[in-house]
A and B are shown apart, each in its own frame.
Chain A
């Protein structure tokens, strides 16, 4: 069998192993395929697995359909200004895998990646691969982060995370504490309040932005003004920039401004960051006013950048007049304590972290994060993709995968070429 043409092989030698068949892994596969690089894409479940199993029912993408593009591929449906449901995302990514005819091995769970002669050894529950390079495309959202304070919660309070929350029907009647005010936090708070639960949301640092600005989707504005193209080597504090919570947006036809003011108007109670649990009470930080002031300032800075872009690029006619929004209304006095007897369920919308427990290559820093420079890991031939602000501000979005995958593909191709030249030279000697 000629190597590279046995499409069913489950083990053996290959130039590149890509781990994960989500949009990021497939985008890499596109560039590898275009250069005829022999590779496989290993997938523990099915294509777009996390979108199939770890998302709640009402979730839709935060980006409009026209912006959902992958290398060589785009949205071709009839609702370019809509926002994909999870079924639509799964179909979109699956269709992309078929379009690429990507060498995906589904139902293949990676057990370990370790360095080996000439590259890496990747063991799976279906066999082992030996490769010159490995691209980790398992994403940033593998394990829900639950703060240590959760251990102090009374046992009769149910706990959910965005990974196992599906819909309000799962919850017992009664009060809900949503911890975290990212896109996830505000969406779940709104959904649960509408379903009749009295909701309190604990708010730390968050990102406020209107769904529609000057008559256009905010994603259109940011895309057009180049805000999302800011590179990872252009920001002051990349570590911080890569941990910014997702913007308070919701993908829905009504395009509501899903900010804390909207939640307040719906009857959701705002509290500060959850700071402790003591004596049957949840304690909230007194910093709510400041985190709201910070979010308002940052939102206004974004809107100002969009206005400046519009003025400077003759796009004023395409847009409505500049707008400024009411500052976030902080309750006076703010809630500093909450009797937990009022709460039946806590929803931890406190973020995710990657699971790299199968990685046996010494590239993790003391905090357990892969040491890398824009996705080029601190180990020759090892790459990581699909992380927030990997190479650009847009890296966390589906449409951010294209530029990142092209850059990493170029680097990877150069690496394979250098290896080949070195091998040829050693044979010539």
Chain B
């Protein structure tokens, strides 16, 4: 370990990540993960989704604690606003994923981050979900993510960090590419 590597600390254990990459290249079965969430309707548009267990490395795994996400609609939709709208939670997922990627890539490239701030904006035409205009899609008409990053690196290196993070991001992939979704009822 050179001093160069110990000097940069973004709180990411790159050695562990690279070790996992190597181990999972040898044993690709362990790389197959399943993520789970369960959701209970509470009242009106208010629901609570919790996550705790998941599957990976060939066995059941668990978060340290259960995490809960309340989703609801704002008052202007005559709702009680007990939580973020589901589409805002999608933005939270994207921001969290890209930012985690930036920290990891920065660590791997020996770039010390001082601050990373993302602001996200997604347009949506409600004529879609309200069924007013069949030509308007339900979802976002686009997502804009803007980063302000203070780091020991050139403009180009920071741009490369952000680009690489998108390239390796699960949520970016989920949003930018079609995914088969099957919804069943017991």
Residues 268 to 294 of chain A near chain B (Cβ within 8 Å): 272-273, 275-276, 278, 283, 285-287, 290, 293-294
Is B146's CB within 8 Å of the partner chain A?
A: no
CB-CB nearest in chain B for A278? B178
Q: Count of chain B residues with Cβ under 8 Å from any Cβ of A? A: 16
Is A300's CB within 8 Å of the partner chain B?
A: yes
User: Do residues A333 and B142 form an inter-chain contact, with CB atoms below 8 A?
Assistant: yes
Q: Flag the segment in B8-16, B31-39, B77-85, B158-166 that touches A.
A: B158-166
Is A297's CB within 8 Å of the partner chain B?
A: yes
Which residues from A are CB-within-8-Å of B141? 333
Distance between A295 CB and nearest chain B CB, rounded to angstroms: 9
Is B55's CB within 8 Å of the partner chain A?
A: no
Which listed residue, A205, A276, A286, A300, touches B156 by the CB 8 Å rule? A300
Alpha-carbon distance A286/B164, docked complex (angstroms): 15
User: Do residues A290 and B178 form an inter-chain contact, with CB atoms below 8 A?
Assistant: no
User: Do residues A294 and B167 form an inter-chain contact, with CB atoms below 8 A?
Assistant: yes
Interface residues of chain B: helix, strand, loop or mixed (majority): helix
CB-CB nearest in chain A for B142? A333
Is B115's CB within 8 Å of the partner chain A?
A: no
Which listed residue, B160, B167, B175, touches A286 by the CB 8 Å rule? B175
Q: Count of chain A residues with Cβ under 8 Å from any Cβ of B? A: 18
Which residues from B are CB-within-8-Å of A333? 141-142
Is A301's CB within 8 Å of the partner chain B?
A: yes
Is A253's CB within 8 Å of the partner chain B?
A: no
Which residues from B are CB-within-8-Å of A283? 177-178
User: Do residues B156 and A287 form an inter-chain contact, with CB atoms below 8 A?
Assistant: no
Is B28's CB within 8 Å of the partner chain A?
A: yes
Alpha-carbon distance A193/B178, docked complex (angstroms): 28
Is B4's CB within 8 Å of the partner chain A?
A: no
Q: What is the count of residue pairs linking A and B with beta-carbon distances less than 8 angstroms? A: 40
Which listed residue, A205, A275, A294, A297, touches B178 by the CB 8 Å rule? A275
Is A313's CB within 8 Å of the partner chain B?
A: no
Alpha-carbon distance A362/B38, docked complex (angstroms): 46
**Do A366 and B163 form a contact, CB below 8 Å, given A272-B176, A285-B176?**
no
CB-CB nearest in chain A for B172? A287
Contact with B along A278-322 (1 / 0, CB 8 A): 100001011100100110010011000000000000000000000
User: Do residues A297 and B177 form an inter-chain contact, with CB atoms below 8 A?
Assistant: no
Alpha-carbon distance A205/B173, docked complex (angstroms): 14
Which residues from A are CB-within-8-Å of B167? 205, 290, 294
User: Do residues B156 and A294 form an inter-chain contact, with CB atoms below 8 A?
Assistant: no
User: Do residues B142 and A297 form an inter-chain contact, with CB atoms below 8 A?
Assistant: no
Alpha-carbon distance A297/B173, docked complex (angstroms): 21
User: Do residues A366 and B142 form an inter-chain contact, with CB atoms below 8 A?
Assistant: no
Which residues from B are CB-within-8-Å of A287? 166, 172-173, 176-177
Alpha-carbon distance A286/B177, docked complex (angstroms): 7
Residues 124 to 155 of chain B near chain A (Cβ within 8 Å): 141-142
Which listed residue, B28, B160, B176, touches A297 by the CB 8 Å rule? B160
Which residues from A are CB-within-8-Å of B160? 294, 297
Alpha-carbon distance A278/B177, docked complex (angstroms): 12
User: Do residues B163 and A297 form an inter-chain contact, with CB atoms below 8 A?
Assistant: yes
Which residues from B are CB-within-8-Å of A286? 175-177
User: Do residues B166 and A290 form an inter-chain contact, with CB atoms below 8 A?
Assistant: yes
Which residues from A are CB-within-8-Å of B176? 272, 275, 285-287
Alpha-carbon distance A275/B28, docked complex (angstroms): 24
Which residues from A are CB-within-8-Å of B166? 287, 290
- Residue from B28, B166, B172, B177 whose CB has the most chain A CB atoms within 10 Å: B177
- Residue from B142, B164, B173, B176 whose CB has the most chain A CB atoms within 10 Å: B176
User: Do residues B28 and A366 form an inter-chain contact, with CB atoms below 8 A?
Assistant: yes
Which residues from B are CB-within-8-Å of A275? 176-178
Which residues from A are CB-within-8-Å of B142? 333
Alpha-carbon distance A272/B173, docked complex (angstroms): 12
Alpha-carbon distance A294/B172, docked complex (angstroms): 15
Q: Residues of B at under 8 Å CB distance from A?
A: 28, 141-142, 156, 159-160, 163-164, 166-167, 172-173, 175-178
Give 11 CB contacts A-B under 8 Å: A275-B178, A276-B177, A278-B178, A283-B178, A285-B177, A286-B176, A287-B173, A290-B167, A290-B172, A297-B160, A333-B142
Given contacts A278-B178, A290-B172, A294-B167, could you give 9 more A-B pairs where the C-beta distance is less than 8 Å? A275-B178, A283-B177, A287-B172, A287-B176, A287-B177, A290-B167, A294-B160, A294-B164, A333-B142
